[in-house]
Each structure stands twice: as C-alpha cells, then as structure tokens.
Amino acid sequence: MGIIRSSFKFVVGTVCGIYIAQNYNVPNIKRVVNTGIFMAKHTEESYRKPKKRDED
C-alpha cells in the first residue's frame, strides 16, 4: 500500500505530461535553454572590459 500511495502523484504527473505533450504545441525546452545561454554569452562578450596588457 505504501508504494502505491507514494508513487501516485508521480504517475498522475507523468500521464498528464504525456497527454499535454501529445495534444498541445509544447516548445522544445532544450532549444529554448540553449538559445538563452547563447544570448547571455553574446551579451557578456560584448560588454566585457578589454583585458589589460602587461607592459614589461
């Protein structure tokens, strides 16, 4: 009885997720995250201070 009670929320969430993914236009999360990371890196590189040259 304990394993059924503890995994009930997980099973219901999985079933709901499968239903939503099949019937609605859900964006590809991996692609959205990669685009955000690329934009953050590009912004950081454009606003980064130039490195100081050590003159000996």
What tens digit of pLDDT does each residue of 1-56 get? 678 888 999 999 999 999 999 999 988 899 999 999 999 999 998 888 777 776 55
pLDDT of residue 11: 93
Q: Tell me the three-class secondary structure of the chain, residue by residue.
A: CHHHHHHHHHHHHHHHHHHHHHHCCCCCHHHHHHHHHHHHHHHHHHHCCCCCCCCC
pLDDT of residue 51: 77
The reply to whether the predicted model has a pTM over 0.75 is no
pLDDT of residue 56: 52
Supply 3's token pair: 């394993």
